[in-house]
Structure 1
């Protein structure tokens, strides 16, 4: 199963695909009962419909004031088209979408676009245009921009990328997000723009600007061992209920740092799936944490690969 899949729900609401032009729509749900997914299909019945036309048709068919969650799927056939036009449409409709609390931008899977091909834009205006937004998700790190902000109501922030720019990581660390409970960042690999370092993550790990944080996911990283070592004595860990270091290249070095660092027995669950741990170290983690009541996911242990030059390397779950 791919780590990149279409969302099935957002903000606790089931995702519902708004019908494309030409599709039969016998009955639509109530505006606030679902998370509305809007996506153009360049090969489907509504192939001639632009995203803006789809958007206007949607706002005419569904009472905007009742909409609580939106999932933005494919906005064009051309991967060079960034999400700027979609962000603009959302901002322009902020006076109509008065009940909107959750947005996910870039809900595309491999068959539609590789994650590194998804071209994003500056998503900061979404947070300023929707001061009561509670959940923001973004898929794709290419050209993604986020400035440091203060937002009083955001509870969930998730950015999925094959390569997340360090500038975005630093912006999150410099933001004041007093209500944020759930933070998930897919850091990715340098080849696809994932150039964040442990130093870029340091402000996040103090937790000073994230007093409500209860879940931290630093996933899909080629510096997973370094991240684990940094978390071993990071102040933010003590207040977490769950920690996710999955999808990356975690090896024995990083796992040993976690075992030798501060206690993790207060966690409800620890996700380390897709890792490169030896059976010995994996068993030590199980004995230490599962006996303390922590649910630990150690599935999908990978094997190091050797290239033609004899260099050994590991791979993240999601790159291109």
Structure 2
């Protein structure tokens, strides 16, 4: 499953492409009514920083509620460092910002694991009122420098956090686990594969499984993992599950073994939804799930052949 389409909604708002609208001479919507997307493409004569400044000078940014950072490089992937610094450096001009999506880039523009990321800790510090953050990509530059980084922080208003990666570094997973996020309700981690830097282990997930540092958590996604069966077995006994409403163990190499552990573990009937899409389950085990969880919305789509020797995650390269 490559990421083939740009997002159309973010933070409960329609995404509006600022650059395309300006190029077409289109009328701009009211500042709080859309999620404003700013980016460049391979034919752009302006850099992202120049486009961002144009956005700041054109839109009533004091009323902007959501921003989507699109492609920030022109022909070849470049580090996010300077573009992200431009965004965080304008924090005083975005007092109403509550949603930020970093990296709305499709595979045709750049594969997710080639996106050259940087330390995203400044986002948490620059926008203390932020409620939703999505970060896509985790890659280093061609020389192996940089890459996605995060320091443990306290953020009193963040309610939704998602890291999308073909390989999420263990250091980032551990940093998220060490953050103090008292009102976080939704957490999703695309763990990815070791080949692209996804070197986390089940031990790195303990803070999320215990739930001790996330008192408000209601939706947990531990997804896109090569060790999805091991995650499922740990979730089966995890204290956090009793207070979850939604659980996602999708996009990974989940087999009958992982689901058997889930069904033999603690009750899951209190969940409103269980997302297991992209899996390697037999029909018999799928039927067991449906029978065991009659009131739970199950996503068992995108099934792969259970007998496949090479089991791949949904998003890697």
- TM-score under structure 1 normalisation? 0.94
What residue in structure 1 maps to residue 142 of structure 2?
A: none
The gaps in structure 1 that reach 5 residues or longer are: 307-311
1:189–1:4 distance in 2 versus 1, CA, 3 Å: farther
Give yes or no for contact 1:255–1:281 (8 Å, CA) kept in 2. yes
Give yes or no for contact 2:42–2:75 (8 Å, CA) kept in 1. no
Q: Is it true that 1:112 corresponds to 2:84 in the alignment?
A: no
The gaps in structure 2 that reach 5 residues or longer are: 140-146
Q: Deviations over 1:144-191 (max 9, x none)?
A: 001111100000000100000001110111111011001011000111
User: Equivalent residue of 1:23, what SS?
Assistant: helix
What residue in structure 2 maps to residue 48 of structure 1?
A: 45
1:153–1:73 distance in 2 versus 1, CA, 3 Å: same
Q: Deviations over 1:108-154 (max 9, x none)?
A: 00110100111110001110111111011000021100111110000
Q: Is it true that 1:138 corresponds to 2:140 in the alignment?
A: no
Two-structure CA RMSD over aligned residues (Å): 1.4
Q: Is it true that 1:248 corresponds to 2:252 in the alignment?
A: yes
> What is the CA-CA distance between 1:25 and the residue it aligns to?
2.2
Q: Deviations over 1:237-271 (max 9, x none)?
A: 11110001111110011000000000000000001
User: Equivalent residue of 2:122, what SS?
Assistant: helix
What residue in structure 2 maps to residue 74 of structure 1?
A: 71
Give yes or no for contact 1:157–1:182 (8 Å, CA) kept in 2. yes
Q: Is it true that 1:238 corresponds to 2:235 in the alignment?
A: no
Q: May I ask how many residue pairs the two structures share in their alignment? A: 310
1:26–1:80 distance in 2 versus 1, CA, 3 Å: closer
What residue in structure 2 maps to residue 282 of structure 1?
A: 286
Q: Is it true that 1:148 corresponds to 2:152 in the alignment?
A: yes
What residue in structure 1 maps to residue 88 of structure 2?
A: 91
1:22–1:281 distance in 2 versus 1, CA, 3 Å: closer
Give yes or no for contact 2:77–2:110 (8 Å, CA) kept in 1. no
* Cα distance between partner residues in 1 of 2:22 and 2:61: 22
> What is the CA-CA distance between 1:313 and the residue it aligns to?
2.0
Q: Is it true that 1:316 corresponds to 2:313 in the alignment?
A: yes
Q: Is it true that 1:269 corresponds to 2:273 in the alignment?
A: yes
What residue in structure 1 maps to residue 30 of structure 2?
A: 30
Q: Is it true that 1:181 corresponds to 2:179 in the alignment?
A: no
What residue in structure 2 maps to residue 296 of structure 1?
A: 298
Which residue of 90, 95, 99 maps to 1:102? Answer: 99
* Cα distance between partner residues in 2 of 1:217 and 1:124: 21
* Cα distance between partner residues in 1 of 2:164 and 2:39: 18
Which residue of 215, 223, 243 maps to 1:219? Answer: 223
1:113–1:16 distance in 2 versus 1, CA, 3 Å: same
* Cα distance between partner residues in 2 of 1:304 and 1:264: 24
